[in-house]
Amino acid sequence: MALTPIAPTRPLTDGYGRRISYLRISVTDRCDLRCRYCMAEKMQFLPRKDILSFEEIDMIASAFVARGVRKIRLSGGEPLVRKGVVDLVRRLGRHLDSGALDELTMTSNATRLARHADALVDAGIRRVNVSLDTRDPDTFRYITRWGELDKTLDGIAAAKAAGLQVKINMVALKGLNDDQIIPMMRWCADEGHDLTLIETMPLGQIDDDRHDRYLPLDGVQGDLQEQFQLVPLAERTGGPARYWKVEELGLKLGLITPLTNNFCDGCNRVRITVSGKIYMCLGHDDHLDLKTALREGGSEALDRVLDQAMILKPERHDFEISAGQNDPTVARHMSVTGG
């Protein structure tokens, strides 16, 4: 018999009346790949003393659940490079058993998913988002700098075999993988995966010029509509994605367009870094320190910072990419906040 979840006594609601029900947690800033649009080739990662322990992540996540968060996504970096991360999933999974949490998910590059897929299912995860920008081995190696496509494809296959629903996230890059969007759509449809296309975002200093690779997805959508019937879906996650069904393929296609179209009005999420900082918006550097609050003041201090975060959450992001301007809108890399 399913347990009835307890209604939160003080739901997390920001100054624009948006209810916060979705928490993304970065469990590590480290990654075993170096995707060109995400990271510089030489990265400086946090020392162990500066990152949250699994116990602290659990305490922070549980505080959010008590305030009405219904969905948690674990991310990185690559979450599966952190030793013992499946144990953290098991800890958080108790909120699924109690009915307090609707879903616990993970974003991964799938390089290590083959060895962990079954354990993740046992721990309570039912869906994973996998970053895959191309199925061409040479292009994959170029984008990731040293990645092996077969490892990622094997991880995706293992996830599917374990019973995980897989959504592929593909960052659209002009002149690099724009000719591979339709082949990716067909492959995802054949494999039973959903697909989301994402515009590159100006997060963190990288070695490449983002403007050279920026591919506006409104143009991509227009091109697709010349070949396929795209039926709008009513599904909303509170994030920037909008969804369509590609009738000819039976594919659910998402578009995340933070630059060509801003969809912040229904934002329902915040992000926690591996160092315990809460970012109220992916597109702003403003943050608060949950780790210090927890370590110095315990659960009551943590709760006060959550209230402050709701006051400070901005109405929308300020992402911008322009020619000749390679300084990012946001100084931190995506791997710091979590995708």
Q: Give the pLDDT of the chain (339 residues) as one tens digit per residue.
A: 344 445 567 899 999 999 999 999 999 999 999 998 888 888 889 998 999 999 999 999 999 999 999 999 999 999 999 999 999 999 999 999 999 999 999 999 999 999 999 999 999 999 999 999 999 999 999 999 999 999 999 999 999 999 999 999 999 999 999 999 999 999 999 999 999 999 886 554 445 665 677 888 999 999 999 999 999 998 776 566 899 999 999 999 999 886 555 556 778 999 999 999 999 987 778 899 999 999 999 999 999 999 999 999 988 666 555 545 555 455 655 656 665
> What are 181's two structure tokens?
């969007």
Rounded to whole angstroms, the Cα distance separating 48 from 53 reads: 9
**For the whole model, what pTM was predicted?**
0.88
With a CB cutoff of 8 Å and minimum separation 6, the contacts of 315 are: 16, 264
> 206: exposed, middle or buried (C-beta count within 10 Å: 0-12, 13-18, 19+)?
buried
Taking every pair of Cα atoms in the chain, the longest distance, rounded to a whole number of angstroms, is: 60
Of 137, 159, 162, residue with least CA distance to 147? 137
User: What beta strand segments (E) does the chain contain?
Assistant: 22-26, 71-75, 103-108, 127-131, 165-172, 194-199, 230-232, 241-246, 251-256, 269-272, 277-279, 287-289
Please state the separation of Cα 39 from the chain's center in Å. 15
Kindly list the domain boundaries of the chain, sorted by start residue. Answer: 22-337
Residues 6+ apart with CB under 8 A from 240: 256, 257, 258, 262, 263, 264
Euclidean distance between CA atoms 232 and 225, whole angstroms: 12
- Domain made up of 22-337: CATH architecture: Alpha-Beta Barrel (3.20)
Burial, 76: exposed, middle or buried (Cβ in 10 Å; 0-12, 13-18, 19+)? buried
Residues 333, 43: contact at Cβ < 8 Å? Answer: yes
